[in-house]
Each structure stands twice: as structure tokens, then as C-alpha cells.
A and B are shown apart, each in its own frame.
Chain A
Amino acid sequence: MSAVRVDSWRGVAGEDMEAVSSNLAGVFRARVRRLLGQLVRPYRRPILGAAALILLKTAATLAIPYLVGLAIDQGVRPGRTGDLNRLLALVVVLGCVMSVAAVANRAFLRLSGRIGQDILLDLRLRLFDHLQALSLSFYERYTSGRIIARLTSDIDALQELLATGLSSVVTAVLSVVAIALILLRLDLRLGLATLVAFPLIVVLTQWFRGQSALSYRAVRTAIALVIVHYTESLAGIRAVQAFRRESRNQEIFVDVVGRYRDANVWSNTLGATFGPGIYLLGRLTTAAVLVYGALLVVQGNLTLGILTAFILYLRQFFEPMQDLSQFYTVFQSASAALEKVSGVLDEEPQVPEPARPLAIERAAGAVELEAVTFGYRDTPVLKDVSLSIPAGQVLALVGETGAGKSTLARLVARFYDPVQGRILLDGTDLRELSSRELRRSVVMVTQESFLFSGTVGENIAFGRPDATRDEVEAAARAVGAATFISSLPQGYDTDVRRRGVRLSSGQRQLVAFARAFLADPRVLILDEATSSLDLPTERLVQRALRSLLRRRTALIIAHRLSTVEIADRVLVIDHGRIVEDGTPAALVSGRGRYHALHAAWLESLA
């Protein structure tokens, strides 16, 4: 039973839970450990090297006071000029040791820095790569703000661990072990008495681990909320200002920032209990040893000198424990970040790549839908739609807004997989095509013409990155975008800026169009690709389309029926079903919906 429960928490599920069952916490912890292991594994050798360097440095640093003591004992005796040579020799040795420490330290800092940066890079790339494989429905659920949080601030949290982790752990563990040995050798009884502290330390650490996991999880969740609200509200700054939404936005922001602050304060308070708590245990142990030792001394079972030495070393024993607790705190913070990251990495793509993709020779472009049912939520948007589009046909989809036209188009472009039924390209189920193959054959111009920051040329070339400049310009000319581009101050090299704000919306659509044209797919899907164009420009585009769509399969969605005129066939969609199907001419002369739609459209032009 627990296996089922555990499995339902795959991926990012449970991410926003405040408290998780201990069962689940174990699953998360194992996941983090696995990820950490995978990240570190390729660098086992360099890490060993770095550990060796830090050992060398620590040893050399420890040798310095010893050598100084030696020099003072043996090389500096008042009035003994003969000592001078020995002093000189010892100072030279000392200088060498110091140089070794310095060289080792520098090498260690560089090497460990490189390892840390390499691990971060690996993780960044791995996460980014994985995100590319995840389907649109994941993005819609998870929101871009959270994705940004995972890829930026969560990875920064790991950076902190990598920057200081290795050196503090190695030095601290080394000192703890060394001093523990000294303690046991000094006096076994007192040494064993010291061990009494360990169960307490374990208990304290367990408590801290449980609590801090919760608090750092809250920190990561809160910073993601901050980023989510920040990115979305500022992306829509025009609407925010025009509708005077600033104060409400500020309220929300203050609230999420407050949550982030509180989570941080919580974590900090836990750390402020844990670190000094370890120290307090050290003090208590010291007191216990002191009393026990005192009794032993009184009974004559222990010399005073050993007790004194023991107490002095005991202090040095708990000093590095303090460092370890500090390290553990940073580790917990990084774990919480890794927990979130590993959750995303654990997400299975809902539109997965086939295990053994079928190859199609240059697709002909026949598309077929077999009894396709699909819904975003529980209610179906497309209901049992069957449709066969022969290669080379230009098909127009019309229907009321919200009827499911874009949804159908997105299914053909495999943004989502149908819930029931299947979609075939040249007889092959889309689910069996590699995404490379599919994207080369099917390209969609989406309803919202998103441009990336960068030049106009780069944005068009997005359709086919290896295109030459001439091809880019040819594509722009073909769709009628060349005129406006050449009137831009730097022509094709004009930076369109964030999301293309430098261009008017019609200009953005033209660029998006050119981008799709350059991609040269067998199946082209146009979802309201000309809705923001003025009529003459739209007409130009249509004229271009006529030649463009020769020998191509096309799915055109448009509310302006002028675009539909170039289609071989029209489908009318209503509430997720195909209600009419025929040539434009046949449907116009019929008595159905398309007839009514067309009449209304003609009237609207008058």
C-alpha cells in the first residue's frame, strides 16, 4: 500500500506541501541523495585530488606552530650564538612549509572552485534539457515563474554548499577524528565518558534535520512564489499601470516577500538553536568530564596534568563540531533546493518521446484523426472527432470562439496527446514519431505571436537555424514582411527587444509567419495568423499563401472568411464536434452554419 502512496508523489507533486509525512520525507531525501550522487560521481577523481590538497594544506598549517615551538626550544637560547645556524635552518624549513601550505591552498581553492562550477553547470544543463522535454501541460500547471526559480535561485542555494562544503567538511572531520584519537589515548575512561555526548548530538541533529527540512522547503516555496508574482505582474506592466493595479500588486508582493522572510527567519532560528546547541552539549560534556575527572583525581586514579590536557583538547574537539553544524545547515538548505529540482527532473513528459521512433521518409503530409477525444480538464473539449486530411489539402477550420479549433490544431502539432483515439501522419501514430521528425514535418503558427529578444533576422531564422541570410530575407519577402523590415532603422538587425515590443502587433505576426514559412514544413498550421493585419496586408499574405501552400497540407484557422476562400475544404466546429464538412462553395450554397457565417461576414464588410 505504501508503494502506491509513494508513487503518487513522483515529480513535483507534493512540492507545495508544508508538512510531509515521514514516509514521504524519506522518499524526498532518497531522491536528493540520488541526485547529489549522480552530480558528484563524474568528479570523484578531482574531488579526491582536492581532498588530498586540503589534507596537505591542513597538515602543513598544523606543522607551523610545531616548527615555531621547535625553533624556540632548540634554536633560541640566550647568549648561544651557535644556535643561530640551527635557527636559520629551522626558519628556512618553516618558510618551505608555509609555501607548501600556500601552494596547496591555492591549488585546492582553484580545483574545488572548478569542481563546484562544473557540477553547477551540469545541473543547469540537465535541468534545462529536461524542461525542454516536458510537455506544455506541465508548463501550464507549473508556471514559468517556478521554472525560473528552480533554474536560478535554487541552483544558487547549491552553489553556496559547493563553495564552502568540501573544505569545511574535510578540515572539520579531520580535526574531530584526530582529537578524538588524542582524547582516547590521553585517558580511555574520560574518553569514553565523552562519548556519552554523542547520543545527545544525534538526537539534536535528528530534530534539526526534520525541522530544517520543513523550514528550508518553505524558503524554496516562498522564493518561487515571489518570482512567480514578480515575473507575471511585470510582464503585463501595461495593463497593471493602465488599470492602476499597482497597489494591489504591491500588497500581494509584500505578502509573498513576507512569507519568504518568515521562512528565512524560521530557518535562521533553527540554525541559531542547533549550532549553539551543539556547543552547549560540548560544555555539558566538559562539565561532566571535569566532575568525573576531579573525582578520579581525588581518588588518586588520574594525574592533574592529564585532566588539564584532556579538558583543553576537549575544547578543540567541539570547535570543529561547530563548523560541522554550520556545514549541515548549508547542506540542509541546498537539499531543500535539490528536492525541488529533483522533483522537476522526476517529472515524466506527458508527451513522451517514443522508445523506438519510426522513421518516415520525407513525409507526404496526410493527417488523420481517428475518434479523437481530448480535454484539458475533466470536461472533454473535443469529442470523438474523426477526420482525414489527404496530403496537399488546404483545410480551413471555422467555428465560434471556444469551439475547440485551436485545440484540434494543437493536437495535430502534438502539444498534447489525445485522451482517446489517435492521430496519424502518413499512417504513423504521432506518438511513434521522434519529435525531430515530427517538428520537421508539422509546424504551427500559434494564435499568440511570441518573439524572442534578439534581431528580426534571428527571430525569422528560428524557423530554421541553419538558414542563410538570403533565405531569411527570401522568407520575409514571400510573406510580405520585407517592406516593413527594410524600413526599420537597422533592417534585419533591428533588436525587437523583450517579446518583440519594438514591433507593432501586425509586424510581429508577419515575422511569426516568415518564421514558419522558413521552416518549410509538410504540414503547416495557421492559428489566426493574420488576425491583426490590415486588409491589404492580409490580402498580400493570402496571395503568398496560395503559392506557398501548393504541395503542402495546411490547417488554417480564421475568423475572417477571406482566408478561408483559399481552402479546398472547410470544417465547421461546434462545441468540440465537426458539424459541417465540404468545399467552401458547397457549404456557402448550402443552408447550414457556414452559410449563415458567410452571410454574416459579407454583411460585416459592407
Chain B
Amino acid sequence: MGFSVVRRYLPYLRPYWRLVAISGGSGLASLVAATLIPLVIKAVIDGPVTHRRPGELWPFLALLLGLAAAEFGLTFARRHTSGLASFAMEADMRNEFYAHLQGLQVSFHDNWQSGQLLSRCVADINTIRRYIGFGLVFMIVMVCTFLVVLAMLVRLDPLLALVTGIAAVPVVWLGHRFHREYRSIARRVQDQQGDVTTVIEESATGVRIIKAFGRGSDMLRRFEKEARALRELNLESVRVRAGLWTLLVYIPNLNLAAILLLGGYGVIQGQLTIGGLVAFISYLFMLNGPMDALGWILSMGEEARTASDRLEEVLRTQSDIVSRPGALRLEESSGRIRFEGVGFRYPGSEEWILRHVDLDLVPGETLAIVGRTGSGKTTLASLVPRLYDVSEGRITLDGHDLRELTLSSLRAQIGMAFEDPILFSASVRENLLMGRPEAGEEQIRRALAIAQAGFVDDLPWGLETRVGEQGYSLSGGQRQRLALARAVLGSPRVLVLDDPLSSVDVHTEALIEKALASVLRGVTALLVVHRPSTLALADRVALIEDGRVSALGTHHQLLEEVPLYRALLAQQAEEVAS
């Protein structure tokens, strides 16, 4: 009943054990103060008041005020420290979850609904914190109360205690059934929350498309469907909870009635004193509060448990793309890259995207990758920085299998520009410096010059201008040029540029190509291109067809020898010229 959650997350509390101890200690102490206060009041009434000696009142009053102040201070200390501990624990859990997500390979993120991950990171961790922070304390208080009361009952009257014990059987059975039933509902509610979050996320990030087609009302309908499903599930959970909570009070109540009847009979028969019966019953009343709370805690415990299952599912997933133990740190690569019999399938898919790819890039060489839409160029490019791992064969850098190098030293060698420029809502400078925080002003200027990104200086705050979410406050070509500048910043040994000039005009393109030519002289580059002009930058061209490198050679060779290549690159010029 949620104890597994406790066991799983107790380690998170360990760094804060001092706070937890203070919290527990002051909690107990405040209880003591709270119990003493009525005694003092009793003493006042029995002493000074009964004896009509008002002069003796003041020391008692001072004691009373002292105790009240102590009670206040201790309760404050308990709640304050338990808050400190549980919120700190929550923050730690969230940080760890985020770190884990950042470390998981790209294919994991491809396959998971973003809303499902977000709802885990926010709502589920919240649920667990609430349980550990409040529920657990109640649970402990409750168990103690139960034990104490039970002991008192047995001492008072073993027979009636037995009856009460029998009444506990359905309660336990109920708890068990609830555990089974509620777990599945709690889980479904949480999953549905993730789905709702996914729709929200998509409608916020896809707002341009929604507006372009005026599909706001359709999105609303989609959202309504999910939100209604969430409501239904929540109602189901309310229903199950309502049943449990009610029975948890009703059964002890019936027990009370039975005790009254049996005990009353016993008293009449002279086997029991009235005092004994009254005492027994008042102890039973003491259970009312805890029984009320029990229902609440049981449901909270189930929710925390499924929430922790949901977290575990992600945390258990280990990234396949990590630095192996004993991996080599590559300091300064020469830039020799070899593809040896490389085959690739996207994880979870049967289809071979690449097969038997053999390529050898000598240091300083620029290889262009050409192929039809969907032929696997981007896939090939993303194998180099190990965003995905090859499914067969291997890729080597300076003769080392990529998987034998530490991930960060490998990626440090590579400057990459993706086909859609991925920018973040930070300043231009921060976007540029992403991979190379150590780069200086000089280098930034150079990179901007290569990418013809002089527009940066016309932005309201120059390099410090924030570019908006995903860079959307820049024009398409501006985004792409920033992404290119980021890739070439700090002169990496290897450049992987995926269709880097698709959104710039012809003039700018020519300027960038001219600048790039000088950059590419010293580095090994993989250049995915659709346009003939850019091919001038390449020493050799590889044509990808059906997942293989079907032709390899210089641009002119291929133009002459390979019909597909001609179709891909040349005909158009002829068509236009004619």
C-alpha cells in the first residue's frame, strides 16, 4: 500500500535526514505540549479557582502561555522542516529526471509523446512528493494510534476486542480490493493526463498551422475529447474512492453498534461494568479520525505508486548511446572518417534505411551526399555525432570505432547544422555558443561572417537579442544562417551540414559558398545537398540510392556516368535553358 513508493524514494530523503529528524522530534514535542495544556487548565480549575485563590492564578497562566508558545513554535518547526525536506526532495527528483531525459538517445524522444514525459516530470513527481511529505506522516501517526487503541481494547475486554478484530477483516479485504481496482484507475487517470498534455503541447507549438487552416475549433474538439475522457476517468476514480471512504467509516460504525449491543447485554448480565463499556466505546471513537484519514491516505498511496511506476518506466530506460567504460578521450582528431559496411534501421522498425555503406573520408576532404527525398541522407549524417548508433558495421574516426570514444570528446570534434535550424529562446550569442562556450568574440565574428549573418547587428540588441521560441522571431533564412554560424564556430575538425542553404537566396548562397570554401579546406566535411551550386564545394560526391552508396566520384564524373545523378541535378538547368 504505497510502502514500495516509500522504499523507492526514501533514498531521496536521506540527504535531508536532519530536517526529517527535527520535524519528527518537534512533532512529538508539540504533541506533548498539546497534551500538557489541558492538564494545566485542569490544575487551574481544581486549584486556584476551586479554592478561590486568584493570587495563585498567575504562575499557571505563565505556564499556560509558555506551553502555548512552545506548541506554536514546535508545530511551526515541524511543518517548516518537513516542507524544506520534501520540497528539496521533489527538486532533486525532478532534476534527476530531467538529467536522465537529456541523456536518453534521440530515438527515445522520437517515440515518446512529449506530453507523457512532461506530465511525469511535473504532475507525477508532485504526487509522490505530496505522499511522502504529508501522507507518510499521517500514515505513521495512524498506525501508532491503531496500535495504541488496539492494546487498550484488548486490555479492557478481550472478547469485545475480538469482535472488533473480526470487523477489521472486511476493512482489510476492502483495502486489498481497493488496491487492485484503484491502481488501474489511478494509472489510467495519469496516462490520460499525459494525453491531454500532449494535445495542449501540440496545439501551442503548432499554432501557426492551426491558424493557417483556421482549425482552432477542430483542435478544441480534439482537446475536448481528451479532456472529457479525463473527466470520465476522474469520475470513475471519485466513484471508487467514495465507496471506499464511506465503507471505511461505515464498517467501524456498525462494529460500534454491535459492541454497544453485545456490551450492553454483557452489562445487563453483569459480566461487564458500565464504566468498562463506556471506556471501550470512547476508545472506538478515537479511531474515527484515523479511519477518515485512512481512505485518503490509501488513495494517495495508490496514486503515488502508479506515479512512481510511470517515472520508473522512463528512468529504467538506459540510453544505448553512452560512453563505454574505458572509452577513449579523443583530444584532437585528424578528421579521418570511415564508414565500414554500415547498415541502419530506426529502432523499432524493420526497414533498412541504409545498407552496406562504405565510405572513406580522408582528413580535409569534403564529401557531398546526394539523393532523392527520403533516401537516407539525414539519417547518414546523424550517425556521425552518434545521435543514432549504426545497426551493423561501424564508423571510425581516426581509426577508432565511434562507440569506443567518449561521447563528449566525439561530439566536440563535430560541428553540425541540422536541416531545420534548431534554435532556442535565448540570446543570439547563447545560441551560437551552445557547443563552445569558450569561444571568443573574434571567433563569433568569424563564424557570423562565414554564414553571412551580418543581420545580427541590425537586431535591436545585436548579439544579445533573444530570438524567440525556436528562433521564430527571425526569418527563415536568418535562422538557417545562425545555425550554420553555430556549426562552424570554433573551427571543429569535422563538419556535418545537412542541406544548410535551403532557405537562403541565391546571392547570399553564393557569398556563403565562397566563405565556406575556405573553411572546408582544412576540415573533413559531410555535406548534404540538393543544389548543384553547393556541389562545387565538394571534393567527391556520394549518391545514395535504395539505402546504398550507388555511385561515388567527382561531380563531373557522376554527371557523365550516372543517369540518376544527372536526373537529380542537371536536367533542370537544361530544361530552363531550353
Contact = CB atoms under 8 A, between A and B. Distances in A.
Contacts of A600: 506-507, 510
Given A484-B373, A489-B351, A261 B88 contact: yes
Given A125-B223, A148-B197, A504-B373, A462 B234 contact: no
B147 interface: no
A245 B257 contact: no
A235 B110 CA distance: 10
Interface stretch (B5-13, B111-119, B332-340): B111-119
A440 B214 contact: yes
Contacts of B577: 602
B378 A605 contact: no
A280 B68 contact: yes
B486 interface: yes
Contact of B254 (A98, A132, A133): A98
B569 A535 contact: yes
A452 interface: yes
B253 A101 contact: yes
A291 B576 CA distance: 105
B contact face: mostly helix, strand, loop, or mixed: helix
Contacts of A79: 268, 270
Contact of A446 (B205, B209, B246): B209
B567 interface: yes
A71 B508 CA distance: 97
Given A109-B246, A602-B573, A78 B268 contact: yes
A240 B102 contact: yes
Interface residues on A, range: 35 or more
A118 B231 contact: yes
B403 interface: no
B418 A532 contact: no
Contact of B420 (A129, A144, A505): A505
Greatest chain A CB density within 10 A among B196, B205, B267, B418 is at B205
Nearest to B409: A244
A124 B219 CA distance: 13
Contact of A239 (B98, B110, B422, B474): B422
A98 B569 contact: no
Contacts of A128: 200, 203, 219-220, 223-224, 227
Interface in A236-260: 236-246, 248-250, 253-254, 257-258, 260
Interface stretch (A356-364, A468-476, A494-502): A494-502
A250 B99 contact: yes
Contacts of A311: 41, 45
A241 B227 contact: no
A157 to B, nearest CB: 10
Given A79-B270, A450-B209, A504 B45 contact: no
A272 to B, nearest CB: 4
B475 A280 contact: no
Contact of B204 (A139, A258, A298): A139
Contacts of A596: 507
A152 B119 CA distance: 9
A68 interface: yes
Interface string B485-516: 01000000000000100111111111000000
Interface residues on B, range: 35 or more
A77 B272 CA distance: 11
Interface stretch (A12-20, A186-194, A382-390, A400-408): A400-408
B510 A230 contact: no
B220 A249 contact: no
Contact of A253 (B38, B98, B228, B481): B98
A77 B277 CA distance: 12
Interface in B76-108: 76, 78-80, 83-84, 87-88, 90-91, 94-95, 98-99, 101-103, 106
A52 interface: no
B530 A601 contact: no
B59 interface: no
Nearest to B57: A294
Contacts of A240: 102
B416 A532 contact: no
Interface stretch (A26-34, A84-92, A333-341, A422-430): A84-92
The CB with the most chain B CB atoms within 10 A, among A143, A230, A510, A516, is that of: A230
Contacts of B349: 489
A592 B193 CA distance: 58
B491 to A, nearest CB: 15
A401 B481 contact: yes
A444 B212 contact: yes
B54 A562 contact: no
B241 interface: yes
Contact of B227 (A124, A144, A287, A378): A124
B486 to A, nearest CB: 7
**Chain A CB within 10 Å, residue with most, of B64, B214, B350:** B214
Interface in B402-434: 408, 411-412, 414, 416, 418-420, 422-425, 434
B65 A453 contact: no
Contacts of A253: 95, 98
Nearest to B202: A452
B103 A604 contact: no
Contact of B261 (A87, A102, A226, A308): A87
A144 B201 contact: yes
A117 B231 contact: yes
B244 to A, nearest CB: 10
Nearest to B50: A304
A105 interface: yes
Contacts of B163: none
A245 B103 CA distance: 11
Contact of B373 (A80, A290, A438, A510): A510
A51 interface: no
Interface string A119-162: 01100110011011100100110011001100111001000000
B435 A559 contact: no
Contacts of A501: 110
A435 B481 CA distance: 35
Given A261-B91, A291-B57, A497-B110, A239 B223 contact: no
Interface string B557-578: 0000000000111011101110
B503 A401 contact: yes
Contact of A242 (B241, B378, B387): B387
A539 interface: yes
B437 interface: yes
A506 B469 CA distance: 23
Given A144-B201, A484-B373, A597-B506, A528 B378 contact: no
Most central of A233, A239, A415, A462 by chain B CB within 10 Å: A239
B486 A65 contact: no
Contacts of B207: 136, 139, 144
B138 interface: no
Given A272-B76, A559-B504, A604-B533, A109 B106 contact: no
A152 B196 contact: yes
A329 to B, nearest CB: 11
29 contacts: A87-B264, A94-B257, A95-B257, A113-B242, A121-B231, A124-B196, A128-B200, A132-B220, A148-B118, A236-B422, A239-B424, A242-B435, A244-B435, A257-B91, A264-B83, A265-B87, A268-B83, A283-B64, A290-B41, A297-B52, A444-B212, A448-B420, A498-B112, A498-B114, A505-B419, A559-B504, A560-B531, A605-B572, A606-B573
Report the 4 A-B pairs with minimum CB-CB distance, sorted nearest first: A439-B214, A401-B477, A506-B373, A113-B238
Given A401-B477, A536-B567, A601-B506, 17 more contacts: A76-B277, A87-B261, A98-B254, A99-B250, A117-B235, A136-B207, A144-B201, A232-B424, A234-B114, A241-B387, A244-B435, A294-B49, A400-B508, A402-B477, A452-B209, A596-B507, A597-B507
